[in-house]
């Protein structure tokens, strides 16, 4: 009886293990190269152009201030030998004041640009993720991984979905 119980248990265990390995072989995995997707979708160029347009005036203002600072610094370099100490101090103060204005206007602009970029990227990322889910469901994938975070995958057993994602997102 005890021997029969052990034999039955072993047979049951072997059957379960075979079932597990069979289902493991049937596990369908896809991979997506997110960097490739971001580089190739037209939405990224559109966002870049949109942000350039949105912040163009303020960037031009900062570039003008930078140009004025360079001009005054070169003037100081050229003419400092012939300037009085008072003129040098006045010009130094002027340059420092312009640099302060540049910093006061530049940092908030930089922060605002980063915030807007994050907002727009979040929208695109949402579209990409929904597209990945849709493609995975249609292709009956059990799992989709991001290529950058995967240490190793066997290209013979894992399907690269990147080009399908690029095509689908590009149409949206």
Q: Which two tokens stand for residue 31?
A: 């991979």
Sequence ranges of the domains in the chain: 27-170
Q: CA nearest 38: which of 119, 122, 154?
A: 122
Strand arrangement, sheet containing 158-160: 143-146, 29-32, 158-160
Percentage helix, strand, coil for the chain under 3-state DSSP, each rounded to 5: 80, 5, 15
Quick count: other Cβ atoms within 10 Å of Cβ 153?
A: 15
pLDDT for residue 168 is more than 80: yes
The length of the chain is 172
Tens digit of each residue's pLDDT (9 = 90 or more) over 31-79: 999 999 999 999 999 999 999 999 999 999 999 999 999 999 998 899 8
pLDDT for residue 110 is more than 60: yes
**Confidence (pTM):** 0.66
Instruction: Classify domain 27-170 at the CATH class level.
Output: alpha beta
Quick count: other Cβ atoms within 10 Å of Cβ 127?
A: 15
Cα–Cα distance for residue pair 51/147, rounded to 1 Å:
29
Q: CA distances (Å), 170 to each of 41, 49, 116, in order?
A: 6, 17, 21
Cα atoms in the Cβ-side hemisphere of radius 13 Å centred on 172: 18
Cα–Cα distance for residue pair 35/39, rounded to 1 Å:
6
CA 158 to chain centre: 24
pLDDT at residue 25 in the model? 55
Q: Which two tokens stand for residue 15?
A: 């059957």
Tens digit of each residue's pLDDT (9 = 90 or more) over 128-149: 999 999 999 998 988 899 988 8
């Amino acid at each position: 009886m005890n021997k029969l119980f052990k034999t039955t248990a072993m047979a049951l265990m072997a059957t379960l293990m075979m079932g597990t390995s069979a289902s493991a072989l049937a596990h369908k995995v896809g991979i997506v190269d997110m960097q490739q997707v971001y580089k190739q979708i037209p939405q990224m160029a559109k966002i870049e152009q949109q942000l350039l347009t949105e912040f163009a005036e303020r960037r031009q203002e900062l570039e003008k201030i930078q140009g004025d600072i360079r001009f005054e610094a070169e003037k100081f370099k050229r003419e400092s030998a012939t300037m009085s100490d008072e003129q040098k101090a006045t010009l130094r103060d002027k340059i420092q004041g312009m640099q302060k204005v540049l910093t006061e206007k530049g940092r908030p602009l930089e922060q605002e640009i980063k915030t807007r970029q994050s907002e727009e990227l979040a929208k695109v990322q949402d579209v990409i993720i929904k597209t990945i889910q849709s493609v995975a469901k249609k292709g009956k994938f059990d799992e989709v991984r991001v290529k950058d975070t995967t240490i190793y995958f066997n290209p013979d057993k894992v399907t690269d979905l990147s080009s399908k994602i690029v095509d689908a997102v590009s149409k949206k």
